[in-house]
Amino acid sequence: MSFDDHPLRYALTNELHARPFPSLTAPGQAIYLAIKEPSQAAKRDRGRDRAHLLALLDRFGAQHPKPDATHFFGDLGKFRLKWEQHTEFVTYTAFVDNGLSRPFDPAAWEVFPEDWLADIPGARITSAHLVYLPAPEDEAEIEPLIHDWFVPESLAVSRVLDDTAAIAGDFRIDSSGHLRFAIFTRPDTGQRRLGRVVQRICEIETYKTMSMLGLPRAREISGKLGQIDERLSHLVTDMTGDLSKPDETLGQLLAIASELEKLQTESAFRFGATGAYDAIVTQRVQVLREERFRGRQTFAEFMMRRFDPAMRTVKSTEARLEAMTTRAIRAGDLLRTRVDVDRSAQNQALLESMDRRSDMALRLQKTVEGLSVVAISYYAVNLVVYLIGPLAEPLGISETLLTALAVVPTVLTVWMIVRSIRKSVEK
């Protein structure tokens, strides 16, 4: 065609098909492993993850994925391997198609070499052993199997995908260190449908565990929030009365606000990731379209009773942290406004005091001005007498009378000059 494609068109379209479901046939088993860095790092070292995958592929002579690939699915002979790289974790799933002499046999994990596992970049966040078997004609025969394989107290069993399969799991770590899940499939269950069930169970377990990482953080913050809330409430209560040191109180409020902002910054990613993972868990459980199996609790009910309270704790802690931050900032703004008003009143009183002092200074200045006229006039009269003294004898006037006659005009002249100078300064 004549027009050009957007440079990201094919990449965006292919992203929708980057993680296909496996095609599986019962009986078989899936060995699932999810690895995460123990630290709170938001991103993994993709180079280390790829190098570790290539080390496994080289042992079985398998082809390498593309350099920028975040997903790999290939046949390694004894098993098929699915590798997925996510933001915080990386997963390995080995699919073994064979009959099971003993379900959940720990020896099945030998598909991953022991020395290769020891060098894996990160730590195990979860691992699961899944077995998928043809469902017996009488579903009552499933009861003794799940009774032997799982802990009844936390067992969840349900029919899924329009009763084409039944799934079971207790979300507990067994003696081998793995979780167990069982899938019983109808004869007419397609290979891709079985693959979707297995992958969704792995995703439910992984995202459930990843979302639970927010719970310890929430508990840690809750203790700090209790202490901060007590301090904040005390300061806000003090604000209702007369504050002797408002500047000091404002400094304490700003310190609390800074501490809360720091907690928000440190927990923003984990709480945000917890919310995202929680939504994925809920969605993955919903798409299974569960139906009750012989009165047993479903996966959705297990999540509602065991998982949802933890998520509500995280969400309530996040909301509390945000609310307290808003309270601290609002209290600081109110106190700052109060301090500004008090300072404005002090400045107004100071200005009024300065006005009064200016008036007093002006009156004093006028008083001094009168005295200055007298003093200047005294010296001016003497100068005038010295100037016109020789005229006294020709005029037949005594020197004393001449001095008296010179006083009035001299004083008036001095007064007018001083007044003129004052007016020019005032302008």
Q: What value does the mean pLDDT take over residues 389-394?
A: 71
Name the region of 214 (left: φ>0; alpha: ψ -120 to 50; beta: rest). Answer: alpha
Which residue, of 144, 175, 190, is where some domain finishes? 190
Residue 40, pLDDT score: 67
What domain range includes position 390?
A: 363-426
180 and 264 part of one domain? no
Which pTM value belongs to this model?
Answer: 0.78
Question: Do 243 and 111 lie in a common domain?
Answer: no
pLDDT digits (tens, 9 = 90+) for 31-90: 999 999 887 666 778 899 999 999 999 999 999 998 888 899 999 988 999 999 998 999
Within this chain, do residues 393 and 344 fall inside the same structural domain, yes or no? no
> Could you tell me if 106 and 254 lie in one domain?
no
Residues 319 and 398 both lie in one domain? no
In terms of domains, do 318 and 389 share one? no
Q: Return the pLDDT at 369.
A: 67
pLDDT at 409 over 70: yes
Whether 273 and 370 map to the same domain: the answer is no
What is the count of structural domains for the chain? 3
Specify if 207 maps to a domain.
Answer: no
Under the banding of pLDDT at 50, 70 and 90, the label for residue 238 is confident
Nearest CA-CA partner of 54 in 40, 67, 64: 64
Question: Which of 349, 384, 408 is the C-terminal boundary of a domain?
Answer: 349
- Half-sphere exposure for 62 (CA within 13 Å, toward CB): 21
Domain end (from 301, 318, 349): 349
pLDDT of residue 351: 83
Does 149 map to a domain? yes
pLDDT digits (tens, 9 = 90+) for 117-167: 999 999 999 999 999 999 998 989 999 999 999 999 999 999 999 999 999
Q: 116 lies in a domain?
A: yes
Interhelix angle 246-287/214-239, rounded to 10 degrees, is 150
pLDDT in tens, 343-374: 777 788 888 888 888 778 777 776 766 667 77
pLDDT in tens, 295-315: 999 999 999 999 999 999 999
Residues 102 and 231 in one domain: no
Residue 2 lies in a domain: no
Indicate whether 337 and 378 sit together in one domain: no
Residue 145 covered by a domain:
yes
378 domain residue, yes or no: yes
| Domain match, 166 and 41 both | yes
pLDDT at 174: 94
* Average pLDDT rounded to a whole number, residues 170-179: 94
Amino acid at 309: P
Residue 396 in any domain: the answer is: yes
Cα-Cα end-to-end distance for the chain: 85
